[in-house]
Amino acid sequence: MRVNPNMVPDILADLQQSQSQLNTYLQEVSTGKSVTEPSDNPTASAEMVQNTIETADVDQYTQNVTNVLSNAQTASSALSSVVTSLNQAVSLGTEGANGTNSSSNLATLAQQVQSILTSVVSDANTSVEGAYLFGGTASTSAPYTADSSSSSGYTYNGNNDTNSVAVGDSLSIQVNLPGSQIFSSSSNSVLGALSSLVSALQSGNTSQISTATTAVSSAINTVSQAQGFYSNVESQLNSQETVLQQDTVTLSSQATNLVGVNEATAATELSQAETDNSAALAAAAKVLPNTLLNYLSVPT
């Protein structure tokens, strides 16, 4: 009997090829990727480097939006509370200016406005996770502290600077206003107007009470404008968040197209590779023992 001397190498080559193919599909199914190193697909690998960079940028912008959006919402809520407090102070001032109040009533009204002033200062010192929102860029200490030498009774400890945050490759948004523009403006001080109203009510001078009440009413406009600023910030951030979410979906889809695998197809190919490898192993098990020496040992 003649023996094909190439049979064993051919079978071994087939076995090696089937095992390699099986390993490839096993890796694809386990990782979900068709490219695990640059040599697998140099072009796709190069494009994935850029995709990874852009994805990291979008993730950072998204985190920035999340952080400052929470701050803007909290600031807006605090200012809404201030507007409510100031409206209450205007009502109390209007009541105190009608000329029919006793000294006791005026003292009570003054105490109520003083409580409102304390509440407004508390809102002006609003913080999120230890960062004060109305101190400009000085966020580590309370913007307003009591100061008997100040006409309003409080001193501003912040600065006049603002923060801007990058939320896109070419988009930065100013995300805050310093308290000096909202609560202690030299032209229309919220704290100053409330303090003056307290003093006017304590003095019982209806003319002064009326003037101070008008100042508080004017201060409402200042706070409302600031509230409008933060509402606009929220709107911009929400809009950009939608854009970033779409960018995330697009980049993820691009990454899948570059190095991902179709799970159903990969599973089918893996099943076929397992079948082919099993067949190769079975063939090798039958043929390889029958070497040339086995044939030579059989009498002719």
Q: Give pLDDT tens digits along the chain (300 positions).
A: 454 555 556 555 555 655 555 455 455 545 555 455 555 567 777 787 888 899 999 999 999 999 999 999 999 999 999 999 999 999 999 999 998 999 999 999 999 999 999 999 999 999 999 999 999 999 999 999 999 999 899 999 999 999 999 999 999 999 999 999 999 988 889 999 999 999 999 999 999 999 999 999 999 999 999 999 999 999 999 999 999 999 999 988 887 776 555 455 555 655 565 565 566 556 666 665 555 445 444 454
Q: What is the DSSP letter of 173?
A: E
Q: Indicate the pTM of the whole model.
A: 0.73
> Bridge-partner residues for 166, per DSSP?
172
**Which phi and psi (to 5°) does residue 204 adopt?**
80, 5
Tokens linked to 75: 């600031």
Contact 197, 153 (CB under 8 A): no
Tokens linked to 239: 């809009």
Calculate the dihedral angle through the C-alpha atoms of 270, 274, 276, 282, rounding to the nearest 10 degrees.
180
Tokens linked to 136: 């400009």
**Which phi and psi (to 5°) does residue 216 adopt?**
-65, -40
Burial group, residue 123, by CB count within 10 angstroms (0-12, 13-18, 19+): buried
